[in-house]
Structure 1
Amino acid sequence: MTNPLSEHSPTDSPVSPPPGCPAHLGASHVGATRLYGPEAESDPHGLYERLRAKHGPVAPVLLSGDLPAWLVLGYREILDVTRTPSRFSRDARLWTEMREGRVALDNPLLPIVTWQPMMSFVDGEQHERWRGAVNDSVARFDKRGIRRHVTQCANQLVDHFCAAGHADLVHQFAEHLPMMAMTQLLGMPEEYSPQLVNAARDMLRGTETAIASNEFVQEKLRKLVARKHAQPGADFTTWLLEHPVGLSDDEVQQHLRLVLIAAFETTANLIANTLKMVLTDVRFRASLAGGHMTLPDAVEQVLWDEPPFVTVLGRWAAQDTELAGKQIREGDALVLGLAAGNVDTVVRPDLDAPIHGNRAHLAFSGGAHECPGQDVGRAIAGTGIDALLLRLPDLALAVEESGLRYRSSLLSRHLIELPVKFTAHQPQDPEMTAEEDQAMEPATAARAGGLTQPEQQSTSRNSWWTSLRNWLRGR
């Protein structure tokens, strides 16, 4: 078979893969490094640097199922890819491996590469139409209302464990706060939140159950869209349904999924990574305490050093082209190495130097597809961390930093747990103790900042706390 991915010029004779090598791999990808498996999962950052040293800013790699792709490691090269859709498209239907039937039906990449009617899979006018609806709807959020709601949610989570004097800030705080906020903003019943945390993380890890988890999320969103037709509210779902561009129910559902999953993973990782740095980096904590670094500055530093998404699979070559000396063929997949780009010495010659107020990082990608909800994510993370540190000022790591463990996948690297200790004290709500089996009383006021009004048919917060407690005890 002709090598579609060969680095040789069209006039060169194609080079056949050696015996035992998958027939679909061209010469450029024979022996390429896998972006999955033990090496990639144990030390992804080290792997990126080894690939950079060997191949430069663009490296041949293999995705799950030994599917060839190009990992873009250079800061400038990533921006080049994101800013030239005529060469590098978001349309997954261009992918040669998908068109030629080499992506198995059980491949865990399917939930993130299967083309869907949403803005992250199109360019041009269709992208502007869908992106415009999302941007307009995001702009309607009351930012102060979001902060009030996040502060309330953060205090409720702290109330659940503050009497114990110890906690795991990943499972008891960082994972739940963003989903509590997002279900609120989307107008979803709050008791869905613990289940959605599990499903979202499972999808993004690319496990063997990722496809089933994706369907679980899709089903919940289908029901949400149907509910909002009957009971519209002041929420993101209703605003998308009512937008003048006239989105179909399927278009609304797919954009809700995109926003929910991306916002959850980004913000949960950002919260956990920022808290870890506050607890372990002496210079970082001293800077915060001394007033030289504000919490927003700290968040931006973490977005440079430990971006929530380490890579993004989502560009396909729209034509034969060249990138950093590599010959990219039409239909090739490109993986943007956001974490690697952020530490490229071309833009950061001194990696130890703090970067106060600099938002030129790649944590939210770049170009026309840059994350539209990044300011909402910053507000959730910053407000939540601020509320936590205010409640627990003597927060300290309960284990040695070397004992912290991570779980890595193609897209993300996140802390498995963040054990902490602090002075135990009673919750602000006297009914919320660490051993309490009674559910929290239903909220009586309108939801935060006029973002949504109480829905007559939604389950009370009572059910949410019951679900959360059962989920935590079942871990």
Structure 2
Amino acid sequence: MYGPEAEGPPNELYEKLRRQHGQVAPVLLPGDVQVWLVLGHRENLDVMRQSSLFSCDSRNWNVQLPADSPLLPITAWQPLVAFADGAEHARLRSAITESLGNFNRHGVRRHVVRYTNQLIDNFAATGHADLVADFAEKLPILVLARQFGIAEQYALPLGQAVRDMVKGTPTALQSNQFVVDTMSGLVKGKKDKPGEDFASWLIGHESDLTDDEVMEHLRHAIVAAHENTTNLIANTLRMVLTDRRFRGSLSGGQMTLPDALEQVMWDAPPLAVVPTRWATGDTILGGQQIRAGDMVMLGLAAGNTDPEIRPDLTAPVHGNRSHLAFSGGPHECPGMDIGRAIADTGIDTLLARIPDVQLAVLEGELHVTSSLISQRLDNLPVLFKRTAVGGAADADSALTAAGAQPLPAAQLPSPSPAPSGGVGARETWWQNLRRLLRRKR
């Protein structure tokens, strides 16, 4: 099951699993850990909505992972809303949702336009750019940092650390510590001098979160929001530049950018898998016998392509928001409208500034990295007519214009690429799935 098939799109693997196992399939994760992957749209919703039967508390897992398991960072229990159920979940989620509710949505869009223009100014005069590295990976963290109450000079280094951590590079632990230190410093600073920002609202919320709880939720929120919004922007730009339906419709005025974003939510959701559900008792799901303590992974991307609800994947889904991109049930993403606003406004501003933008390479030359939870577009090189700088000539200098100094370089690890090839702890989860299928033959 290696060779060309191993490099094929995930949908091919989902369909193979469906043919062999139905809407819920046994799969292998690193270390030969067997779990369940939910492929069906209805079955995913069943798991999302039944929190008493499918808990987010990983202490229910019947597997003891070794200390060096690459699964630990995403499954080890933490005092976070993402790992809580019942009354504790309600307490923590109320602090998150009510604090997010204080965001000025119009203000967020103004900041998106400002930072988008600053980023474009960095490459407008060159006539070329990589819209992943130069735009998608930078815009979300610039906007989010401001909303979180983080000083602007820390935004880009923080975003670099988050992406390095999520990619699982050899410097991921150092990058995680950088994020923790930044958030710890933010909590301390906002306790002494609160402001109109997410950190201050969490600290002052009536749920009475501890300093550690505030820090951990800030860390969790910045990682999730930055990663998902970056992927959403990159995937939408790729579709706009490569899919004739969208390229033609956008230029002809027959489709809005929100329609394109909705299509991406279905076809390439920013988060493909949520690996944080554990059965609290024996049950039947999708015809499979699930035992108490089994890990059940939500297959968001797989559920979105379920032939029971989308028999024709080429048909447009404009106006249909029943996709699973933001999960559902009690743990539905609380900040989904903010991520959409950043992506929508940022891409709209980009296309207005450089309307002739086009892909600089063949689509087949774009590189996608697969991880347990997402499909990450790594590059999107484009060409366009050179244009004059429209504002700040340099985004980095604009961020320090008020006299703030960037963090010393020694505090931020230099990301290095993860080893390629090999099996075991470093192999991709797609390789594990295909290895399991080979064994079933």
TM-score by length of 1: 0.82
Shift of 1:338: 0.6
1:324 matched to 2:286:
yes
SS at match of 1:105: coil
Distance in 2 between the 1:202 and 1:241 partners? Answer: 28
Per-residue CA distance 1:289-338 (angstroms, 9 max, x = gap): 22222111111111101000111101001111111111111111111111
Q: Deviations over 1:59-86 (max 9, x none)?
A: 1111122212101111010000001112
1:175 aligns with 2:137: yes
Task: Indicate whether 1:226 and 2:184 are aligned.
Answer: no
Q: Distance in 2 between matches of 1:316 and 1:39?
A: 31
SS in 2 for 1:164: coil
**Which of 63, 66, 69 is the aligned partner of 2:35?**
69
Larger Cα-atom Rg: 1
Distance between the aligned counterparts of 2:328 and 2:316, measured in 1?
22
**Partner letter of residue 140 of structure 1?**
N
User: 2:117–2:391: 8 Å Cα contact kept in structure 1?
Assistant: no
Q: How does 1:433-472 map to 2 (within 5 A)?
A: 439-440=397-398, 442=400, 460=404, 463=406
Which segments of 5 or more consecutive residues in structure 2 lack a partner in the other structure? Answer: 418-441
1:397 and 2:359 matched: yes
Alignment partner of 1:151 out of 103, 108, 113: 113
Q: Secondary structure at the match of 2:184?
A: helix
1:111 aligns with 2:65: no
Is residue 2:261 matched to residue 1:304?
no
Name 1:59's counterpart in structure 2. Answer: 25
**1:42 Cα deviation after fit:** 6.2
2:369 corresponds to which of 395, 403, 407: 407
* Cα offsets for 1:70-110 (capped at 9, x unmatched): 01111010000001112100001111113xxxx12222222
Shift of 1:442: 4.7
Shift of 1:276: 0.6
For CA contacts below 8 A with separation 6 or more, give which structure has more relative contact order.
2
Q: Following TM superposition, by how much is the alpha carbon of 1:443 offset from its aligned partner in structure 2, in angstroms? A: 5.4
Q: Which amino acid aligns with 2:212?
A: D
Alignment check: 8 A CA contact 2:153 2:399 kept: no
Structure 1 stretches lacking a partner, 5+ long: 1-32, 445-458
Shift of 1:195: 2.9
Do structure 1's residue 368 and structure 2's residue 334 form an aligned pair? no
Query: What is aligned with 2:15?
Result: 49
Paired residues for 1:159-308 under 5 Å: 159-308=121-270
User: Which residue, 83, 86, 97 being the options, matches 2:52?
Assistant: 86
Q: Output the amino acid matched with 1:72.
A: V
Letter in structure 1 aligned against 2:60? L
Q: Equivalents in 2 of 1:290, 1:41: separation in Å?
A: 35
Q: Cα offset for 1:425?
A: 1.6
Tell me the TM-score normalized by structure 2: 0.88
Give the CA RMSD over aligned residues: 2.6
Q: What whole-Å deviation, never above 9, does each CA across 1:368-411 have from its counterpart, x for those lacking one?
A: 10000000000000010011111101000001111111111001
Further displaced range: 204-213 or 111-120: 204-213
Percent identity over paired residues: 53
Partner of 2:97: 135
Instruction: Tell whether the 8 Å contact from 1:310 to 1:411 is kept in structure 2 after alignment.
Output: yes
User: 1:167·1:419 contact (CA, 8 Å) conserved in 2?
Assistant: yes
Distance change >3 Å, CA 97–CA 269, structure 1 → 2: same
8 Å CA contact 2:237–2:347 kept in 1: the answer is yes
What letter is aligned with 1:75? H
> Compared with structure 1, are the counterparts of its residues 339 and 432 closer, same or farther at alpha carbon in structure 2 (3 Å cutoff)?
same
Q: Distance in 2 between matches of 1:439 and 1:83?
A: 47
Shift of 1:229: 0.8
Larger deviation: 43-52 or 130-139? 43-52
Query: Within 5 A, what are the aligned runs for 1:415-426?
Result: 415-426=377-388
Give the Cα separation in 2 of the matches to 1:170 and 1:297.
21
AA aligned opposite 1:294: T
Tell me the CA shift for residue 112 of structure 1.
1.4
1:314 aligns to what SS in structure 2? coil
| 1:204 Cα offset (Å) | 2.7
Structure 2 counterpart of 1:440, one-letter code: A
The yes-or-no answer on 1:383 pairing with 2:345 is yes
Q: Paired residue for 2:439? A: none
Once the two structures are superposed, what CA deviation does each residue of 1:122-158 show, in whole Å capped at 9, x if it has no partner? 1111111110111100110000000000100000000
Amino acid at match of 1:439: S
Shift of residue 441 of structure 1?
Answer: 7.2
Checking the alignment, whether the CA contact within 8 Å between 2:150 and 2:186 is kept in structure 1 is yes
State the distance in 1 between where 2:31 and 2:8 align.
19
